[in-house]
Amino acid sequence: MKYLLAIYENEKQWESLPEAESKQILDECFAITDAIQKSGNFIAGEALQPTTAATSVRIRDGKRLTTDGPFAETREQLGGFYLVEAKDLDEAIAMAARLPSARWGTIEVRPILDFAQSAG
């Protein structure tokens, strides 16, 4: 089954890290990504640019509205994701727990809806 590991972390906290510490964390991320790829569980994954680079799109009354950023009133922002194949939720959670951001942020583990399977 496919799972999304959505990485939420505080952008301001990340920006305030000393360069050596952020490099160490990125090296850890690359090593974990490599391990997930070698295990055959990796489908896709990317880091996202900060929310200041985001554009939100809404259609209201048939008109397209765009605004800068997500303007979420939260401490944590979506910073990246992994799309993985796991035999079950426990395996997906184990992968999420290895990600460095789990130590100071949140990793949301969510199963991917399989429309082909749900259509029966």
**Is residue 67 within 8 Å of residue 56, measured between CB atoms?**
yes
Residue 68, pLDDT score: 85
pLDDT digits (tens, 9 = 90+) for 32-83: 999 999 999 999 999 999 888 888 888 999 999 998 877 666 788 899 999 9
Residue 116 has pLDDT above 70, yes or no: yes
Residue 67, pLDDT score: 84
* Residue 86, phi-psi category: left (phi > 0), alpha (psi -120 to 50), beta (remainder): beta
Residue 112, pLDDT score: 96
In the chain, where do the E strands start and end?
2-9, 42-47, 55-60, 63-68, 77-85, 106-111
Interatomic CA distance for residues 25 and 65, integer angstroms: 37
Residue 85 has pLDDT above 90, yes or no: yes
pTM of the model: 0.87
* Residue 61, phi-psi category: left (phi > 0), alpha (psi -120 to 50), beta (remainder): left
Q: How far is CA 24 from CA 10, 35, 36, 53, 100, in A?
A: 17, 17, 18, 25, 10
Q: What is the mean pLDDT of the chain?
A: 92
Token representation of residue 80: 């990246």
